[in-house]
């Protein structure tokens, strides 16, 4: 445990989905703007070991850290807000905790003791929290507890953070509770009872919130008497109750918390002098408000009914839009329903077309059609991971004339597998076979990719299939240039069509390195290209 590290714990009440991750990220932003070093962690109460094999429809996207951790999507928010590369230690689940404890028991670590939730599970949780400060030597560690207070699954995590408070000096821990402030349209009244019950539940676990964020999903202003009522009934001062109203953008939330002087409350309670400087966030907010360009991006995927499956992609588009004075409208296109007969109706209004990553054959042919539509109609195209493989399949079929061209993931009988399994991988094994984490791409001189990146790109990967190198010369001769490679294993990382306003596709996931302060070069170039030809 870092000697001076302070811990801020974020919990939620009443219902899930209130924005605990955004609240924690915003607090992290304020701390960083005050010159403090920050690390963040997400604790999830589900029993899956990690999100890697979880259905995106259930859980949203799988976010990948630089060191190859497959994590919850909230880590994407954390990194985009605090501009810090997190690690595998930033995400763990109840499943991972129980797995480690049971393995320790099988190895005899507990020497025949009766293994119980307390102390063994809770001590393992505490160990994981302390590892953040041990490994990173930071001023603050912000820990978000998934789910809501009262969930049976989250009880060991709540007990663990209660114990941490009892072990550390008082000024080294702080509890922020995010709870729903309901509004009844019928009577035109705010109701605080759900918040009261949520805080009561926290108290029953031995935790008094230090700050309460009253999340309110209505445009009506919260009157001061409601704030006073919450403070009186929840053992808080009025300034310790922060109103979490809807904002025009999630990137306005740090500014909203700062306006309510949350930094002053943290300063007093944690005995630290905070003088935030949020000028970059103010500039971004002003740019967004004054955006003049309107850009419509058709995002073609199979999980578009749950847009969280592509959260980092959509946020990367929005961030690039902010810095290019563009209002981004995403047209969500279900690739399963995209056909040759309806494609013009679906995509004709697109300023740009983006095909994101994914796994499995479902919806693939719709994505191939989208890539072809972008190529033939000179519409800017950005392909990500599977979106790069799709672009290559479409090009091989319709430019090179290999009508059966495909990926070995989708058609083992194809005589032209332009995409094939990474050498040494077992096609029957889902877990542990992905190329994960950060790798360096060497950029080819004289390409569009070089104009965007310079000589190299360091980006994150999550895939198990690669471009088949035996087709490289044929592709390049026909106008699809290999513009980025991973030199060590001679793997194709970026392809681009030379005779096109912007047709670039990458095997990696550029969305994972977008930051509010620094849009990813591929997304930035994509939006710039669209604006330049509108």
Determine the pLDDT at residue 445. Answer: 96
Q: Of the residues 132, 234, 385, 392, which is catalytic?
A: 385
| Mode of pairing for the β-strands spanning 140-145 and 91-93 | unpaired
Average pLDDT over every residue of 205-226: 93
Neighbours of 384 (CB within 10 A): 26
Distance CA 90, CA 100 (A): 16
Average pLDDT over every residue of 145-159: 94
- The token duo for 516 is 């509010």
Query: Chain-wide mean pLDDT for the chain?
Result: 93
Query: How do residues 21-40 score in pLDDT, each as one tens digit?
Result: 999 999 999 999 999 999 99
Nearest to 484 by CA among 440, 423, 422: 440
Active-site annotation holds for 385: yes
Give yes or no for a contact between 126 and 160, defined as CB atoms under 8 angstroms apart: yes
Say if 6-283 and 292-533 have the same CATH topology.
Answer: yes
3: confidence class by pLDDT, cuts 50, 70, 90: low
User: Using only C-alpha atoms, what is the Rg of the chain?
Assistant: 25
Give yes or no for a contact between 274 and 266, defined as CB atoms under 8 angstroms apart: yes
Distance CA 20, CA 437 (A): 26
Determine the pLDDT at residue 427. Answer: 46
Give CA separation, 427 vs 101, 417, 419, 465, 467, in Å.
31, 15, 14, 10, 16
Instruction: Quote the crossing angle between the two packed helices 311-323 and 279-289, to the nearest 10°.
Output: 90
**Three-state secondary-structure class, residue 85:** coil
What beta strand segments (E) does 181-292 contain?
182-184, 189-191, 211-216, 241-245
H/E/C letters for each residue in 192-222? Answer: CHHHHHHHHHHHHCCCCCCEEEEEECCCCCC
Query: How do residues 219-273 score in pLDDT, each as one tens digit?
Result: 888 999 999 999 999 999 999 999 999 999 999 999 999 999 999 999 999 999 9
Distance CA 442, CA 449 (A): 10
Determine the pLDDT at residue 429. Answer: 42
Domain ranges of the chain: 6-283, 292-533
Query: How do residues 491-518 score in pLDDT, each as one tens digit?
Result: 999 999 999 999 999 999 999 999 998 9
Q: Percent of the chain, pLDDT > 70?
A: 97
- The token duo for 164 is 């941490």
Q: Percent of the chain, pLDDT > 90?
A: 86
Give CA separation, 98 vs 57, 90, 266, in Å.
25, 17, 33
This prediction has a pTM of 0.92
Q: Is pLDDT of 10 > 50? A: yes
425: confidence class by pLDDT, cuts 50, 70, 90: very low
Average pLDDT over every residue of 121-135: 92
Query: How do residues 277-319 score in pLDDT, each as one tens digit?
Result: 999 999 999 999 999 899 999 999 999 888 899 999 999 999 9
Could you say which of 3.40.640.10, 3.40.50.1380, 3.40.50.300, 3.30.160.60 is the CATH number of the domain covering 6-283? Answer: 3.40.50.300
Q: Of the residues 70, 144, 159, 511, which is catalytic?
A: 511
CATH of domain 292-533: 3.40.50.880
Q: Is pLDDT of 2 > 50? A: no
- The token duo for 346 is 């679906």
Q: Is pLDDT of 432 > 60? A: no
Q: Is pLDDT of 411 > 60? A: yes
Determine the pLDDT at residue 431. Answer: 44
Average pLDDT over every residue of 148-153: 91
Give yes or no for a contact between 301 and 363, defined as CB atoms under 8 angstroms apart: yes
Distance CA 288, CA 345 (A): 30
Average pLDDT over every residue of 211-215: 97
Determine the pLDDT at residue 335. Answer: 96
């Amino acid at each position: 445990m870092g000697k001076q590290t302070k811990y801020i714990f974020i919990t939620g009440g009443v219902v899930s989905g209130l924005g605990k991750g955004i609240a924690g990220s915003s607090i992290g932003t304020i701390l960083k703007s005050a010159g403090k070093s920050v690390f963040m962690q997400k604790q999830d109460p589900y029993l899956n070991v990690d999100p890697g094999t979880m259905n995106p429809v259930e859980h949203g996207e799988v976010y990948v850290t630089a060191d190859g951790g497959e994590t919850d999507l909230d880590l994407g928010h954390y990194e985009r807000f605090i501009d810090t590369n997190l690690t595998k230690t930033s995400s763990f689940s109840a499943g991972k905790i129980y797995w480690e404890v049971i393995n320790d028991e099988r190895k005899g670590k507990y020497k025949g003791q009766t293994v119980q939730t307390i102390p063994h599970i809770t001590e393992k949780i505490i160990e994981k929290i302390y590892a953040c400060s041990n490994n990173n030597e930071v001023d603050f560690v912000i820990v978000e507890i998934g789910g809501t207070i009262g969930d049976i699954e989250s009880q060991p995590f709540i007990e663990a953070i209660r114990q941490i408070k009892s072990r550390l000096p008082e000024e080294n821990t702080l509890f922020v509770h995010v709870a729903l402030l309901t509004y009844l349209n019928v009577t035109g009244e705010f109701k605080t009872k759900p918040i009261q019950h949520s805080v009561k539940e926290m108290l029953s676990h031995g935790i008094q919130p230090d700050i309460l964020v009253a999340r309110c999903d209505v445009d009506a202003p919260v009157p001061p008497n409601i704030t006073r009522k919450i403070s009186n009934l929840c053992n808080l001062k009025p300034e310790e109750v922060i109103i979490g109203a809807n904002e025009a953008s999630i990137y306005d939330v740090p500014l909203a918390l700062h306006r309510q002087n949350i930094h002053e409350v943290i300063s007093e309670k944690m005995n630290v002098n905070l003088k935030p400087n949020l000028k970059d966030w103010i500039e971004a907010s002003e740019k967004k408000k004054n955006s003049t360009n309107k850009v419509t991006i058709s995002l073609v995927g199979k999980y578009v009914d749950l847009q969280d499956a592509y959260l980092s992609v959509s946020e990367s588009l929005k961030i690039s839009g902010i810095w290019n004075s563009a209002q981004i409208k995403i047209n969500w296109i279900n690739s399963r329903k995209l056909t040759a007969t309806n494609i013009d109706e679906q995509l004709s209004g697109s300023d740009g077309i983006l095909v994101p990553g994914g796994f499995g054959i479902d919806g693939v042919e719709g994505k191939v059609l989208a890539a072809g539509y972008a190529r033939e109609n000179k519409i800017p195209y950005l392909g990500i991971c599977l979106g790069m493989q799709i672009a290559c399949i479409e090009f091989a079929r319709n430019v090179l004339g290999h009508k059966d061209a495909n990926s070995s993931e989708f058609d083992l009988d194809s005589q032209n597998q332009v995409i094939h399994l990474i050498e040494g991988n077992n096609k029957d094994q889902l877990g542990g076979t992905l190329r994960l984490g950060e790798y360096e791409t060497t950029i080819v001189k004289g390409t569009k990719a070089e104009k965007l990146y310079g000589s190299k790109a360091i980006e994150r990967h999550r895939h198990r299939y690669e471009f088949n190198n035996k087709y490289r010369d044929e592709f390049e001769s026909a106008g699809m240039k290999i513009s980025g490679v991973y030199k060590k294993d001679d793997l194709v990382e970026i392809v681009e069509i030379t005779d096109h306003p912007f047709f670039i596709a990458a095997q990696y996931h550029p969305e994972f390195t977008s930051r509010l302060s620094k849009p990813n070069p591929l997304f930035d170039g994509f939006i710039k290209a669209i604006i330049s030809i509108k």
